[in-house]
Structure formats: structure tokens, C-alpha cells
Amino acid sequence: MYVLSCILLGLSGASAINYYEAQELGPCPRVLPSPDVTLEQLKGKWHLSVVVLDATKDDIEENSVCINGEVFLHNETHMKHIWDMYTPHRQELPVGTIELSIDVLRPGVWAVQTPLGSQMSGFLFGYDLDLAMVAFCGWQDGQQVHVFTAAVTREGVLTGALRLKMSSILLDNGYEPSTTKLVVWNKC
């Protein structure tokens, strides 16, 4: 839950996130955006399955909260994402909600407006019918830096085959296991 809170604070534009105080953020990953994905393919329900953070050591953390979202289309270049967080203790009511307004600059490249008015870049890559990955980047000291990468799935259970597919996509896009931390939501 701590990591999600940090991510939600980061999305909200807060600058003091304890997770990042001990280290500088790494450069924005050089992923190849998926040019053929339409907004129509992205709309609907998704589950946050994996978040990739820059870290000083390879680490995987299983998390028991569930984060479910839905993508709504406004027109050909604008969409809204609404994400609700549920805990095992309160599965019927969300304990937190975040709404992101997203403009498509070009296929696979987004301008993401956060709830407090800050802006990040989003790069959609590794899209498949049941999986989408987005690298979110912001600005730190005049440099574009990696805030986090999110992998979302259509199903709430993260199977071994899907984990393998995600790992392969991350490795193919230059993510280094020795410098990342994975937060995994496995059974939602």
C-alpha cells in the first residue's frame, strides 16, 4: 500500500515522495511506442498488475490491494482513466480513486494531466489484447525521468504465462532487472 500511495502522490504532483528521496530518478526509458493501437482498443476495464520502479536492487513485492480501472473515450484524441483501489478488508468500496485526463499527441505517446494539474508523458508499448504497458515520465532538474511503468491486464489474475510475456517485453525494451523494483498485484 505504501508504494501505491507514493505513486498516487506522484501522480498528484507531490514532490516529496519518501521512496525517491534516497535516490535520483533514472532517465525515461527509450521504449518504442505502439503506433497501431487505437483508443477504441484501450477502452473498457483493466486491472493494474505490475508497477516497475527504478531501484538500487532487483526486488519483487507482492501486494494484496487491488487496483481496477476503466478507460473512457471522449473523442479520437482524448480519454479519461479512472482507477479505484480496494483493500482485502473493504472489497466492496474503493479506499482511493484517481482520475487521469489523457491527450494523445500521436499514437502511443500521451500527455497525462494529473489531478493536481501537473503533467507527465506516457508511452504505450507492449500492447496485446490482454495487456498494455505504459512508461510514465516526468521532469526532475530539467531532465525527463522515469516515474514508473505500469502493466495493466484485462484479467485480475496474473498467470505465469502473462508474467513471462511482461518480463520479455520489459527486457526487450531495455529494462534492467538489476535496477528495477516490481510491485505485483496477483489476484484481483
Which CATH number fits the domain that encloses residue 135? 2.40.128.20
Q: Please give the average per-residue pLDDT across 8-37, as a whole number.
A: 64
Distance CA 42, CA 96 (A): 22
Domain boundaries, position 77:
2-185
* Total domains, the chain: 1
Percent of residues, the chain, with pLDDT higher than 70: 84
The DSSP annotation for 31-94 comes to: ----TT--HHHH-EEEEEEEEEEE-SS-EEEEE--EEEEEEEEEETTEEEEEEEEEBTTBSSS-
Q: What is the pTM of this model?
A: 0.83
Could you read off the pLDDT of 1-22 as tens digits, one per residue?
A: 334 444 443 443 333 344 444 4
pLDDT per residue as tens digits for the range 52-111: 998 766 566 767 788 999 999 999 899 999 999 988 777 778 889 999 999 999 999 999
